[in-house]
């Protein structure tokens, strides 16, 4: 019988997708998957956008349309002061996931070690496995989940070639500080490491300070590939449109890998994407205010149920410490929330390689207000907290 490749052993559909299926089966409110059921900006879909018949439908050049790359460069400059040349340092990709796969493929060799900070976005692990790279986890602990020098230095070995960071973070919602990024920069410099920074939530944050792009800190620009996505800022994850930016010689190699993997990012959507990226500051202000309101509403629901949600300063997830439920693991907590409250969440284990020290679940608040209200009502069903 024809079998599957060795490197695919143990890889399964993500826990997130499996929880969505279970939510459907039992009729639960699904806070598990970051499906972003918030509508995209109307002005990008209609009202001035060119008609779909008028946009290009053929392949683009592998790096993407100039109009898209220029819009990415302008947006990065505007939102975080990050300077990239749209002609040579920006690549349109099939989502941030496509950007990550092309980056790993282009810049690392099979067997290389890649540092991941736990808790991490679970696709990092499967992406590393698909291209034959080795995860090297560094445990960050709550409630602040801060990166510090000592554990990071302890994790780096002579096989380590790269680190993946994520700010604002999925699942914790934390934004890395300048001090933490300086630690990353120092260790990367000491060991000549590639830094891959996933900044797909760069426009979603809740305090006054703008997004701090890793590549603007210390000397990180020379060794950093920044990944972005239109899926989060414009609620269009199904467009599968993202980008990778970085030093010209790295982006050039990523472009060759992306060409081999997928030829180019969807052409018509690059045109619509450029329009979205050019939306003004009012759009982002409203986006942040909306998510801030949703974040507070859901956090109050978990707190009223006796649990301990963190206070994320970006992205659209709560990372909830369920210790007071008297359970040992996030998987148990998620099971009780599903069966007892009909609320679907993701167990904290999905974001760790080794078991986390507390029973966490992640809850997404990128959902319509009535869905969040239903979830909060269901969380109010008593009996979650023991002792
Ligand atoms: C941290 C992070 N990176 C990347 C992605 C995937 O982005 P895309 O849909 O653009 O591939 C997600 C989606 O949830 C995410 O949370």
User: What is the number of the ligand 1 atom nearest to the C-alpha of 98?
Assistant: 11
On whether both 298 and 256 belong to a single domain, the answer is: no
Q: Please say which residue of 254, 277, 300 terminates a domain.
A: 277
Token pair in block for residue 223:
């060794």
- Distance between CA atoms of residues 273 and 146, nearest Å: 33
Residue 212: the pLDDT is 98
Would 1 be classed as within a structural domain?
A: no
Q: What is the pLDDT of residues 199-247, one digit of tens each?
A: 999 999 999 999 999 999 999 999 999 999 999 999 999 999 999 999 9
On whether both 18 and 100 belong to a single domain, the answer is: no
Count of domains forming the chain = 2
Quick check: 380 and 297 in contact, CB under 8 A?
A: no
Would 375 be classed as within a structural domain?
A: yes
On whether both 227 and 88 belong to a single domain, the answer is: yes
Neighbours of 233 (CB within 10 A): 23
Q: Which domain holds residue 193?
A: 55-277
At residue 326, does pLDDT exceed 70? yes
Residue 93: which CATH number?
3.40.640.10
Would 47 be classed as within a structural domain?
A: no
Residue 24: which CATH number?
3.90.1150.10
| Alpha helix ranges (H) inside 86-177 | 95-107, 123-130, 149-155
- Residues with Cβ within 8 Å of 134's Cβ and at least 6 positions away in sequence, in order, are 111, 112, 113, 114, 128, 159
User: What is the number of the ligand 1 atom nearest to the C-alpha of 241?
Assistant: 10
On whether both 13 and 102 belong to a single domain, the answer is: no
At residue 47, does pLDDT exceed 80? no
At residue 37, does pLDDT exceed 80? no
Nearest to 224 by CA among 298, 152, 167, 284: 167
Residue with CA nearest ligand 1 atom 7:
96
Would 384 be classed as within a structural domain?
A: no
Test site for ligand 1: of 16, 33, 96, 175, most ligand atoms within 8 A of the Cβ? 96
Test site for ligand 1: of 123, 233, 367, most ligand atoms within 8 A of the Cβ? 123
At residue 385, does pLDDT exceed 90? no
Q: What is the pLDDT of residues 331-377, one digit of tens each?
A: 999 999 999 999 999 999 999 999 999 999 999 999 999 999 999 99
* Angle CA 251–254–256, to nearest 5: 115
On whether both 240 and 112 belong to a single domain, the answer is: yes
SS3 content of the chain, % helix, strand, coil (to 5): 45, 15, 40
Nearest to 178 by CA among 71, 238, 186: 186
On whether both 151 and 237 belong to a single domain, the answer is: yes
Average pLDDT for 169-196: 98
Q: Is 287 in the pocket of ligand 1 (CB under 6 A)?
A: no
On whether both 286 and 159 belong to a single domain, the answer is: no
Q: Is 94 in the pocket of ligand 1 (CB under 6 A)?
A: no
- Distance between CA atoms of residues 183 and 12, nearest Å: 34
Q: Is 119 in the pocket of ligand 1 (CB under 6 A)?
A: no
On whether both 227 and 245 belong to a single domain, the answer is: yes
On whether both 107 and 211 belong to a single domain, the answer is: yes
User: What is the number of the ligand 1 atom nearest to the C-alpha of 166?
Assistant: 1
């Amino acid at each position: 019988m024809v079998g599957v490749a060795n490197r695919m052993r143990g890889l399964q559909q993500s826990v997130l997708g499996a929880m969505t299926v279970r939510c459907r089966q039992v009729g639960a409110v699904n806070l598990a998957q970051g499906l972003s059921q918030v509508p995209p900006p109307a002005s990008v879909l209609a009202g001035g956008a060119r008609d779909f018949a008028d946009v290009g439908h053929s392949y683009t050049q592998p790096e993407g349309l100039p109009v898209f790359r220029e819009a990415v460069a302008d947006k990065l400059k505007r939102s975080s002061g990050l300077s990239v040349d749209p002609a040579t340092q920006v690549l349109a990709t099939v989502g941030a996931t496509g950007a990550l796969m092309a980056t790993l493929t282009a810049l690392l060799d099979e067997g290389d070690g890649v540092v991941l900070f736990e808790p991490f976005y679970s696709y990092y692990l499967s992406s590393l496995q698909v291209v034959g790279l080795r995860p090297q986890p560094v445990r960050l602990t709550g409630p602040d989940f801060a990166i510090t020098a000592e554990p990071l230095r302890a994790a780096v070995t002579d096989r380590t070639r790269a680190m993946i960071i994520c700010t604002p973070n999925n699942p914790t919602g934390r934004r890395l500080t300048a001090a933490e990024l300086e630690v990353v920069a120092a260790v990367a410099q000491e060991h000549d490491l590639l830094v891959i920074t996933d900044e797909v939530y760069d426009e979603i944050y809740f305090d006054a300070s703008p997004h701090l792009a890793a590549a603007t800190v210390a000397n990180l620009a020379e060794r950093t590939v920044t990944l972005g996505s239109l899926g989060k800022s414009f609620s269009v994850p199904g467009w599968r449109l993202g980008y990778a930016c970085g030093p010209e010689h790295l982006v050039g190699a990523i472009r060759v890998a992306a060409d081999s993997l997928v030829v180019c990012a969807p052409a018509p959507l690059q045109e619509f994407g450029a329009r979205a990226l050019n939306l003004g500051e009012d759009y982002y202000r409203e986006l942040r205010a909306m998510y801030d309101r949703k974040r507070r509403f859901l956090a109050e629901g978990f707190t009223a149920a006796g649990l301990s949600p963190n206070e994320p300063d970006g992205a659209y997830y709560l990372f909830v410490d369920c210790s007071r439920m008297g359970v040992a693991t996030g998987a148990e907590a998620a099971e009780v929330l599903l069966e007892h409250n009909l609320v679907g969440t993701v167990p904290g284990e999905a974001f760790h390689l080794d078991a986390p020290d507390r029973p966490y679940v992640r809850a997404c608040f990128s959902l319509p207000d009535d869905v969040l209200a239903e979830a909060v009502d269901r969380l109010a069903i008593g009996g979650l907290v023991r002792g």
